[in-house]
Amino acid sequence: MDMESPLTCLKGVGPALARKLEKLGLFCVEDLLFLLPLRYEDRTQLVKIGAIVAGSRCLVSGEVLLSETVYRGRRNLLVRISDGSGQLTLRFFHFSRQQQAQFHAGTAVTCFGEVRRGSAGFEMIHPEYRILRENQEAATADSLTPIYPATEGVQQGRLRNLTDQALRFMQETPPVELLPAHVTTRLGMPSLAAAIEYLHRPPPDADVQQLLHGRHPCQQRLAFEELLAHYLSLRRLRALAQTEDAPALTGGEPEVGRFIDDLPFELTRAQQRVIKEILADLSAPHPMMRLIQGDVGSGKTVVAAIACLKAIACGVQAAIMAPTEILAEQHWRNFSAWFRPLDIEPAWLSGSQRAAARRESLQSIADGAAKLVVGTHALFQEGVEFDRLGLVIIDEQHRFGVHQRMALRDKGVSEEGHPHQLVMTATPIPRTLAMAAYADLDTSVIDELPPGRQPVSTIAVPDSRRGEIVERVRSACASGQQAYWVCPLIEESELLDYQAAEASYQMLTEALPDLHVGLVHGRMRPAEKERGMQAFKEGLIQLLVATTVIEVGVDVPNASLMIIENAERMGLSQLHQLRGRVGRGSRQSHCVLLYKPPLGRIAKERLAVLRDTNDGFIVAQRDLELRGPGELLGTRQTGLPDYRIANLVRDAELMPQVQVTAETMRTSSDTNAVAIVRRWLGDTRKYGKV
């Protein structure tokens, strides 16, 4: 038997149990060592009944005083025990005749369970219990009891037994230490075997609070290695990409220079710096893989346009993909206006396009007549053939994970190699999280807003004061401004969203008969949506009622007031994105967060963060702390891995050290790097997936 042996080589594991264990991701003996407890219970000492507190889980021992069945809707078995310091009731809803008979007066029993306050003093419902024989001492555990992640049909006792076997085996054959010795020494980390042993069977004097919060040095030791594994694997993807070919885009300087000169504004220094980084990448014969981060309104679109122009001037096609139709359409309009003087007409591709228009687009994309293509996901579906795709830009990319990034890149492969890839995110990502989630990309940050922007002033108002706010909209619009009225996202349901927006639209048209009020929501046909947006942009509509479809990217500089209904239901980053739709012109803008009281603690904190800062990076950091990385990067689709022990928020401070360690291992071609990735991320043999 070795660490890689299948679990069936352990005592008590047959094929049926092995299949259940697979559901927990357990395939071999070593996997058991890395199945870490979720929490611990303290059964190392008996607690005096007189000293127990409600809510705690503890081990007590006592003598049965009386046992009786009572009828409370159904039959309950109540067993009153005492240890001389106090009395406790054990309550059972399900019990057999034998069980009932066990508890005769005078019997000694130990039990473990959660203490709660019952009608007649403290009680435990369905405790784990053991009847003691005469003169038998109540047994206490030698170490804290680990509670493992459960899967159906595998009891905790079974998991403890299996990990016992694996731990015994580990004593003869400890797992290979893969971290460089200088790192473990410098960071004062315990050895891998010691850490594993400790976490599975912590001694009675272990600091349970520290363990529960994942702060124990043994946990940090494993978290470090896991973060390192993920980081190394992303860097390896990155290195692989670097060995691939891409068209080296040299030339085009006059076109780019002229375009910049003709812009109605000066590029900010941050924009200039990022453009320089992109142009340098594009001139290399390997695919660019760059992430641009920039707060809302920092001017990412024009940076993308310059990248496209460079590609086109060098004779390849550029494609830009946006996550929603509204945003794609807006890009299409912007790019058309910018590029028309240069005789470049972007092609359009979206899912809802008519067949004839689509055919025409596909044709021009395939024969190369279309130098630039703008669209939604439809851009990369079956049947789209490019003539010479050289640059792919993905806007608002935080909704895509690493696998989607890779897939997109592969779509564009030709004899000339892979296209260059630029991804833009509007949600700033805290540095340590970006390190962990985007280590396969180079990063540029536009950390400056165009001059003259004034921070949006934000207030939170209970929705009982809706009338006042409607009044405020009236007077703002009367003075030539425009406003958004954003309706809540209701449990991700498009239908309910739409109904809420409809209702607000009705209310507002009635309350504001002098205003032109428009409505845009996700259920409208694209052309309708487009008409609504366009009318708002041209000022024909003064108040736009919308669902969160306008969340990203929409750019109407004259809009300076935003009302967000049910703001308490939305995430911080989403609110910040929405708020970013105003404050784009030179006028002082306002954002009103309407909420339904009473606010919970987290909701209160969220709204306070927005009131206090306009800095997207601070908002993102707080969002990360409040909701965790999955939510921040966009639920589910992020492709963020499930960590077994590391937590990107809690362990963020490990990231810089992880990065340094990884880079050192890579430059010194440390062969352990591969082994670490394999240990934590598995390989195809072990997990049967690619």
Q: Which of 300, 371, 418, 606 binds ligand ADP (CB under 6 A)?
A: 300
- Residues 142 to 171 in contact with ligand ADP, rule: CB under 6 A: none
Helix (H, G, I), strand (E, B) or coil at 417: strand
Counting every residue, how long is the chain?
690
Q: CA 327 to CA 374: how far, in whole Å?
A: 10
Residue 35's CB: how many other CB atoms inside 10 A?
A: 19
The one of Mg ion, ligand ADP, none whose footprint includes residue 589, by CB under 5 to 8 A per kind, is: none
Helix (H, G, I), strand (E, B) or coil at 357: helix
Closer to ligand ADP by CB, 298 or 542: give it: 298
Asked if 390 interacts with Mg ion (CB under 5 A), we say: no
Asked if 616 interacts with ligand ADP (CB under 6 A), we say: no
Q: CA 449 to CA 615: how far, in whole Å?
A: 10
Q: In terms of Cα–Cα distance, which of 398, 439, 675, 403 is closest to 552?
A: 398
The one of ligand ADP, Mg ion, none whose footprint includes residue 293, by CB under 5 to 8 A per kind, is: none
CB of residue 484 to ligand ADP, shortest distance in Å? 15
Q: Which of 175, 217, 315, 557 binds ligand ADP (CB under 6 A)?
A: 557
Angle at 339 between CA 337 and CA 344, to 5 degrees: 125
Cβ atoms of 35 and 22 within 8 Å: the answer is: no
Q: For residue 122, how many C-alpha atoms fall within 13 Å in the half-sphere facing its CB?
A: 22
Asked if 298 interacts with ligand ADP (CB under 6 A), we say: yes
CB of residue 297 to ligand ADP, shortest distance in Å? 5
Q: CA 234 to CA 227: how far, in whole Å?
A: 11
Given strand 317-321, what is the order of strands in its sheet?
Answer: 347-349, 372-375, 317-321, 389-394, 420-425, 289-294, 442-446
Q: CA 411 to CA 433: how far, in whole Å?
A: 28
659 contact partners, CB below 8 Å, separation of at least 6: 231, 435, 439
- Residues 270 to 289 in contact with ligand ADP, rule: CB under 6 A: 271
Q: Which of 52, 223, 302, 370 binds ligand ADP (CB under 6 A)?
A: 302
The one of ligand ADP, Mg ion, none whose footprint includes residue 302, by CB under 5 to 8 A per kind, is: ligand ADP
Closer to ligand ADP by CB, 301 or 589: give it: 301
- Choose the binding region for Mg ion from 508-516, 550-558, 619-627, 669-677 (rule: CB under 5 A): 550-558
Q: Which residue has the tokens 């009622």?
A: 545
How many positions of this chain bind ligand ADP (CB under 6 A)?
A: 19
Cβ atoms of 86 and 53 within 8 Å: the answer is: no
Q: Give the DSSP letter string of 514-545.
A: TS-EEEE-TTS-HHHHHHHHHHHHTTS-SEEE
Integer angstrom CA distances of residue 325 from 320, 332, 388, 550, 645: 12, 10, 25, 10, 39
The one of ligand ADP, Mg ion, none whose footprint includes residue 298, by CB under 5 to 8 A per kind, is: ligand ADP
Binding mask 581-600 for ligand ADP (x = CB under 6 A): ---x----------------
Cβ atoms of 617 and 295 within 8 Å: the answer is: yes
Q: Which of 323, 375, 553, 641 binds Mg ion (CB under 5 A)?
A: 553
Closer to ligand ADP by CB, 345 or 447: give it: 447
Q: Which of 296, 619, 640, 673 binds ligand ADP (CB under 6 A)?
A: 296
Closer to ligand ADP by CB, 267 or 674: give it: 267
Q: CA 396 to CA 320: how far, in whole Å?
A: 11
- Choose the binding region for ligand ADP from 13-21, 64-72, 260-268, 510-518 (rule: CB under 6 A): 260-268
Closer to ligand ADP by CB, 296 or 460: give it: 296
- Choose the binding region for ligand ADP from 175-183, 267-275, 589-597, 663-671 (rule: CB under 6 A): 267-275
Helix (H, G, I), strand (E, B) or coil at 484: strand
Query: SS3 helix, strand, coil % of the chain, rounded to 5?
Result: 45, 20, 40
Cβ atoms of 231 and 673 within 8 Å: the answer is: no
Closer to ligand ADP by CB, 314 or 520: give it: 520
Helical (H) or strand (E) element with 349: strand 347-349
311 contact partners, CB below 8 Å, separation of at least 6: 249, 282, 317, 318, 390, 391, 420
Q: CA 420 to CA 248: how far, in whole Å?
A: 9
Asked if 580 interacts with Mg ion (CB under 5 A), we say: no
Task: Provide the token pair at 357.
Answer: 């228009």
Task: Find how far residue 525's CA is from the centre of its chain.
Answer: 30
The one of Mg ion, ligand ADP, none whose footprint includes residue 230, by CB under 5 to 8 A per kind, is: none
- β-partners of residue 420 are 391
Closer to ligand ADP by CB, 31 or 396: give it: 396
Task: Provide the token pair at 486.
Answer: 């954003």
- Residues 623 to 682 in contact with ligand ADP, rule: CB under 6 A: none
The one of Mg ion, ligand ADP, none whose footprint includes residue 247, by CB under 5 to 8 A per kind, is: none
Q: In terms of Cα–Cα distance, which of 499, 259, 516, 300 is closest to 395?
A: 300
Task: Find how far residue 312's CA is from the centre of its chain.
Answer: 35
- Residues 450 to 489 in contact with Mg ion, rule: CB under 5 A: none
The one of ligand ADP, Mg ion, none whose footprint includes residue 444, by CB under 5 to 8 A per kind, is: none
Measure the N-to-C terminal CA separation of the chain; round to a whole number of Å: 27
CB of residue 178 to Mg ion, shortest distance in Å? 42
Binding mask 443-472 for ligand ADP (x = CB under 6 A): -------x----------------------
The one of ligand ADP, Mg ion, none whose footprint includes residue 270, by CB under 5 to 8 A per kind, is: none
Asked if 405 interacts with ligand ADP (CB under 6 A), we say: no
Closer to Mg ion by CB, 190 or 450: give it: 450
Q: Which residue has the tokens 């004779």?
A: 315
- β-partners of residue 113 are 58
CB of residue 553 to ligand ADP, shortest distance in Å? 6
CB of residue 384 to ligand ADP, shortest distance in Å? 25
Q: Which of 294, 412, 488, 583 binds ligand ADP (CB under 6 A)?
A: 294
Closer to Mg ion by CB, 301 or 542: give it: 301
Q: CA 567 to CA 463: how far, in whole Å?
A: 10
How many positions of this chain bind Mg ion (CB under 5 A)?
A: 1
CB of residue 552 to Mg ion, shortest distance in Å? 7
DSSP class of residue 42? Answer: -
- Residues 426 to 445 in contact with ligand ADP, rule: CB under 6 A: 426
- Choose the binding region for Mg ion from 212-220, 365-373, 549-557, 572-580 (rule: CB under 5 A): 549-557
CB of residue 649 to ligand ADP, shortest distance in Å? 26
Q: Which of 268, 324, 458, 504 binds ligand ADP (CB under 6 A)?
A: 268
Residue 229's CB: how many other CB atoms inside 10 A?
A: 25
Closer to Mg ion by CB, 617 or 643: give it: 617
- Choose the binding region for ligand ADP from 133-141, 273-281, 300-308, 464-472 (rule: CB under 6 A): 300-308
* Residues lying near ligand ADP in the complex (CB under 6 A): 265-268, 271, 294, 296-302, 426, 450, 553, 555, 557, 584
What is the contact surface with Mg ion in residues (CB under 5 A)?
A: 553
